[in-house]
């Protein structure tokens, strides 16, 4: 390409508070339309907003976790514009004094680390939701204001990303962090984590950014990437034809994989920001910041490094296990009971994840095989009570029934055979039945060893101790 893409992202993160940012209405998702409203979030004249303190604390958490400085005197502003689902005719947000500023996140793409700047994080209220009739011939739309006044953090990056892959890496890392912090449930389908992407092109070698288009409210990593890729192609074609890109807001249509114009993009001054006269400045003390800092959980980057340095896990394992806070905790809880990290990692990434995926992508929090049960199963395998192959069969039964592994092994008679006399008898029987293969092995065809092992294991119905089988079989064949 002769153009360099420039990408900046604005992420709206819905906070997991029980009540809204300026009133006591519930934030529960899926309630009857307009059942979670009051004069404040409906914008009735004379109704006064009261700030939810937990929103401020969540914003501080987000700022500290993304290396921002905390603005200790920050101010709410009125952002004036009209939408049918914005009852007051303005949105309470923050403008010149946001709560967090000048942060960054480091991302890794194709083995290279890059720092993405974060311009600001500010608190604001969400608008309502328009519900359009899905009936042929009906043009009516309804307004559901349950979401009005729901607390949001808007996290605004610097225009530092230069490819769709970098944008997705930044978004996934940010998504992971807010979920680790416990400030957002991360549900993209419900709109708890959604993104506006500002995309522009400039000639390669230039330092002057081109005219940007804003891609609005995309709530899927896959769709964000598709939207940016399409927008790059669209703008490149316009510039190649000698045209000019228009600054505008565009919507992405996942059915066609294209973007379409929604409206001309307003500049910040068009919103006529001014301090909200109903809300006093928010003053954040040093003690408050330090108290929040002391309560931060271990974040994914630090946890991954600890898994590698302290537990000796490979980088791949550590990366997979820290993908979610719950998965990492499940792993650590199991290791605490069965301190062989690599073995536990293999089972969590293998059997546990497979079973959850097969069970309609069930979450690790809902896994019927608890860390204690998994540790008990691994102990049985370590003691030689059951083989690795049988352990997988036992795990499947544990997942279905929730029973302890010892009980399943006892009920189904799955105890591993380690008695050398019994195993020797099975080996002798296999060798007697396959004299031709014995002669070939002794003649140099050593690949037949696996054949003999398989025959013995079948004879024992998978219960023979593989280590004992291998040792005794080798002696017999060499003798």
Q: What are phi and psi of 357, to 5 degrees?
A: -65, -40
Closest-CA residue to 25 (of 128, 169, 176) = 128
Averaged over 68-90, what is the pLDDT? 93
Q: Measured between alpha carbons, how far is 166 from 406 in angstroms, rounded to an integer?
A: 48
Lowest model confidence (mean pLDDT) among 43-57, 118-132, 186-200, 404-418: 404-418
Locate tokens 């080996």: which residue?
427
Given a cut of 80, whether residue 124 has pLDDT beyond it is yes
pTM of the full predicted structure? 0.84
CB atoms within 10 A of CB 137: 5
| Interval 381-404: pLDDT, tens | 898 888 888 899 999 999 999 999
CA contacts within 13 A on the Cβ side of 32: 1
Q: What are phi and psi of 204, to 5 degrees?
A: -55, 130
Q: What are phi and psi of 260, to 5 degrees?
A: -135, 155
Lowest model confidence (mean pLDDT) among 1-5, 58-62, 94-98, 146-150: 1-5
Banded pLDDT at 416 (limits 50, 70, 90): low
What is residue 146's predicted lDDT score, i.e. its pLDDT?
Answer: 96
Given a cut of 90, whether residue 476 has pLDDT beyond it is no
What is residue 265's predicted lDDT score, i.e. its pLDDT?
Answer: 60
Q: Measured between alpha carbons, how far is 76 from 41 in angstroms, rounded to an integer?
A: 16
| Interval 85-120: pLDDT, tens | 999 999 999 999 999 999 999 999 998 999 999 999
CB atoms within 10 A of CB 431: 18
CB atoms within 10 A of CB 366: 9
Given a cut of 70, whether residue 418 has pLDDT beyond it is no
- State which H helix or E strand residue 358 sits in: helix 353-358
| Interval 312-354: pLDDT, tens | 999 999 999 999 999 999 999 999 999 999 999 999 999 999 9
Average pLDDT, the chain: 92
Given a cut of 70, whether residue 278 has pLDDT beyond it is yes
* Chain centroid to CA 338: 27
What is residue 96's predicted lDDT score, i.e. its pLDDT?
Answer: 93
358: alpha, beta or left? (left if phi > 0; alpha if psi -120 to 50): alpha
Given a cut of 60, whether residue 269 has pLDDT beyond it is no
Given a cut of 80, whether residue 84 has pLDDT beyond it is yes
DSSP 66-118: TTPEE-SEE--EEEE---TT-TTSEEEE--SS-SEEEEEEEEEETTEEEEEEE
Sign of torsion, CA 420 421 426 431?
A: positive
Locate tokens 């669209």: which residue?
234
Given a cut of 70, whether residue 419 has pLDDT beyond it is no
Q: What percent of the chain has pLDDT over 90?
A: 75
> 271 in helix, strand or coil?
helix
- State which H helix or E strand residue 317 sits in: helix 315-321
Given a cut of 60, whether residue 266 has pLDDT beyond it is no
Lowest model confidence (mean pLDDT) among 127-131, 234-238, 372-376: 127-131
| Interval 188-231: pLDDT, tens | 988 899 999 999 999 999 999 999 999 998 889 999 999 999 99
């Amino acid at each position: 390409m002769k153009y360099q893409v420039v990408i900046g992202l604005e992420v709206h993160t819905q906070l997991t508070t029980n009540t809204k940012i300026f009133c006591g209405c519930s934030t529960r998702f899926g309630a009857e339309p307009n059942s979670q409203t009051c004069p404040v979030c409906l914008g009735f004249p004379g109704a006064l907003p009261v700030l939810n303190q937990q929103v401020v604390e969540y914003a501080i958490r987000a700022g500290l976790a993304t290396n921002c400085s905390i603005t200790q005197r920050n101010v709410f502003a009125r952002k004036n514009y009209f939408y049918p689902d914005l009852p007051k005719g303005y949105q309470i947000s923050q403008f010149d004094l946001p709560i967090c500023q000048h942060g960054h996140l480091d991302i890794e793409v194709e083995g290279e680390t890059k720092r993405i700047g974060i311009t600001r994080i500010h608190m604001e209220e969400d608008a309502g939701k328009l519900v359009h009739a899905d009936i042929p011939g009906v043009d009516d739309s309804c307004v559901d204001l349950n979401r009005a006044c729901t607390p949001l953090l808007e996290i605004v990056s610097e225009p530092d990303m230069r490819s769709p892959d970098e944008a997705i890496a930044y978004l996934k890392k940010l998504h992971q962090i807010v979920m680790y912090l416990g400030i957002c449930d991360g549900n993209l389908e419900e709109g708890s984590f959604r993104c506006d992407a500002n995309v522009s092109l400039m000639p390669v070698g230039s330092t002057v950014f081109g005219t940007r288009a804003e891609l609005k409210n995309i709530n899927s990593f896959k769709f964000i990437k598709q939207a940016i890729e399409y927008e790059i192609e669209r703008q490149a074609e316009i510039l190649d034809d000698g045209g000019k890109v228009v600054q505008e807001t565009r919507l992405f249509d996942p059915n066609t994989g294209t973007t379409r114009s929604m409206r001309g993009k307003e500049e910040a001054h068009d919103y006529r920001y001014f301090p909200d006269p109903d809300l006093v400045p928010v003053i954040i003390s040093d003690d408050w910041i330090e108290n929040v800092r002391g309560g931060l959980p271990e974040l994914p980057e630090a946890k991954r490094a600890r898994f590698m340095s302290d537990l000796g896990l490979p980088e791949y394992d550590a990366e997979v296990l820290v993908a979610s806070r719950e998965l990492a905790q499940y792993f650590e809880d199991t290791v605490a009971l069965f301190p062989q990290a690599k073995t536990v990692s293999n089972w969590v990434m293998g059997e546990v994840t497979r079973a959850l995926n097969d069970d309609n992508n069930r979450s690790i929090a809902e896994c019927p095989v608890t860390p204690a049960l998994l540790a008990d199963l691994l102990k049985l395998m370590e003691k030689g009570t059951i083989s690795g192959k049988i352990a997988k069969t036992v795990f499947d039964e544990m997942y279905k029934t929730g029973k302890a592994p010892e009980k399943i092994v006892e009920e189904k008679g799955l105890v591993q055979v380690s008695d050398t006399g019994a195993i020797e008898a099975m080996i002798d029987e296999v060798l007697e039945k396959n004299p031709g293969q014995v002669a070939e092995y002794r003649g140099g065809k050593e690949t037949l060893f696996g054949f003999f092992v398989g025959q013995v294991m079948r004879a024992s119905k998978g219960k023979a101790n593989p280590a004992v089988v291998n040792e005794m079989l080798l002696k017999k064949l060499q003798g």
